[in-house]
């Protein structure tokens, strides 16, 4: 049986592919959540993974929740309200917690529509590249729901409060070019170029010392919620670790040699 999240390794880059074809690459299933947590934990144990690319199989990035189960009142959607509250905490809300604790940078290669929780999952990534035919939609209100997966926390941090309010309160689609204009994505590319461009971006990351990249990501995450003093304190604690990394010494030595070999007129 194909897992709902396939993991492949290409050099220092892992590729995670959402593969739930019978439910629009839904991410609300307990099996997907478990696979995602396992993938994050494995990356955190393996510092040789310099970056992760997250994409979807087929023509969709992710449709978010399993709408078929919603319509049939099955699974989480068939529980009583109190039970459903706890089920949200125990299933889909584990996704943002897992994504935030992933130490390696994650690039969302958005290959098609990213809707509802699928849109939010893309916002949980550190960087986003999108095909020219894709779109984002924070569409919960259009079926009478709210972002129950942390989208109301992540989305404003990506696009700002006004844009996030517009997306959340209308549920309207944001197409690729608008997403680029809004700063949601780093690039819009043709479908055939999506994974090559995502790999090219990943390679720009993994060429740097892995420990420094992971600590830099942690500082960026801390800056979302912590005070300046707290972030400065964290940086002061991390920087000696960076200075003691052998790769830091190797690179400084290489810089010194290159400078010594440089001709005066270079």
pLDDT tens digits for range 208-221 = 999 999 999 999 99
Cα 112 vs. chain centroid, distance in angstroms?
A: 15
What is the full DSSP assignment across 145-161?
----SSHHHHHHHHH-H
Q: For the chain, how many residues are written?
A: 266
* pLDDT at position 249 over 80: yes
* DSSP structure class, residue 29: S
Homologous superfamily, domain 5-206: 2-enoyl-CoA Hydratase; Chain A, domain 1 (3.90.226.10)
Q: How many CB atoms lie within 10 A of CB 226?
A: 14
Residue 234 CA to residue 219 CA, distance in Å, equals 7
pLDDT tens digits for range 125-160 = 999 999 999 999 999 999 999 998 999 999 999 999
The CA-based diameter of the chain, rounded to the nearest angstrom, is 76
Residue at token pair 């810089």: 255
Give the residue from 34, 43, 145, 42 showing the smallest Cα distance to 92. Answer: 34
Residue 153: phi and psi, rounded to 5, are -95, -45
Beta-bridged to residue 235, according to DSSP, are none
Residue 212 CA to residue 179 CA, distance in Å, equals 30
Residue 143: phi and psi, rounded to 5, are -115, 20
More confident of the two residues 66 and 207: 207
Give the count of alpha carbons within 13 A of 101, CB side only: 14
* pLDDT at position 264 over 70: no
Q: Please tell us whether the domain made up of 210-261 is placed in CATH 1.10.12.
A: yes
Q: How many CB atoms lie within 10 A of CB 186?
A: 15
Question: Domain map of the chain by residue range?
Answer: 5-206, 210-261
* DSSP structure class, residue 44: H
The answer to whether residues 19 and 6 touch, using CB atoms and an 8 Å cutoff, is yes
C-alpha distance across the termini of the chain, in Å: 60
Q: Full-prediction pTM beyond 0.85?
A: yes
**What pLDDT score does 263 carry?**
67
User: Which band of pLDDT confidence, cut at 50, 70 and 90, is reported for residue 247?
Assistant: confident
Token reading at 59: 């023509």
* pLDDT at position 1 over 80: no
Which helix (H) or strand (E) covers residue 115, if one does?
A: strand 114-115
For residue 116, CA distances in Å to 24, 56, 261 come to 12, 15, 55
């Amino acid at each position: 049986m194909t897992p709902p999240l396939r993991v492949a390794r290409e050099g220092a880059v892992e590729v995670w592919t959402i593969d739930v074809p019978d439910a629009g690459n839904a991410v609300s299933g307990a099996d997907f959540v478990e696979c995602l947590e396992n993938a994050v934990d494995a990356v955190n144990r393996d510092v040789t993974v310099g970056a992760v690319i997250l994409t979807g199989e087929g023509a969709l990035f992710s449709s978010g929740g399993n709408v078929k189960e919603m319509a049939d009142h099955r699974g989480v959607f068939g529980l009583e309200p109190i039970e459903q509250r706890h089920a949200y905490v125990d299933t889909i809300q584990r996704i943002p917690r897992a994504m935030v604790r992933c130490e390696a940078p994650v690039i969302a290669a958005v290959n098609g529509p990213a809707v509802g929780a699928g849109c939010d999952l893309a916002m949980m990534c550190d960087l986003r590249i999108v095909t020219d035919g894709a779109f984002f939609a924070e569409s919960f209100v259009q079926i009478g729901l709210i972002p129950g997966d942390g989208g109301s926390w992540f989305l404003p941090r990506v696009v700002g409060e006004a844009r996030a309010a517009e997306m959340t309160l209308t549920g309207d689609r944001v197409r690729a070019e608008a997403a680029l204009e809004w700063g949601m994505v780093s690039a819009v590319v043709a479908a055939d170029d999506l994974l090559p461009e995502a790999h090219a971006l990943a390679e720009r990351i993994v060429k740097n010392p892995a420990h420094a990249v992971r600590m830099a990501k942690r500082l960026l995450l801390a800056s979302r919620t912590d005070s300046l003093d707290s972030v400065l304190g964290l940086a002061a604690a991390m920087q000696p670790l960076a200075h003691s990394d052998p790769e830091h010494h190797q690179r400084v030595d290489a810089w010194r040699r290159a400078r010594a070999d440089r001709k005066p007129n270079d």
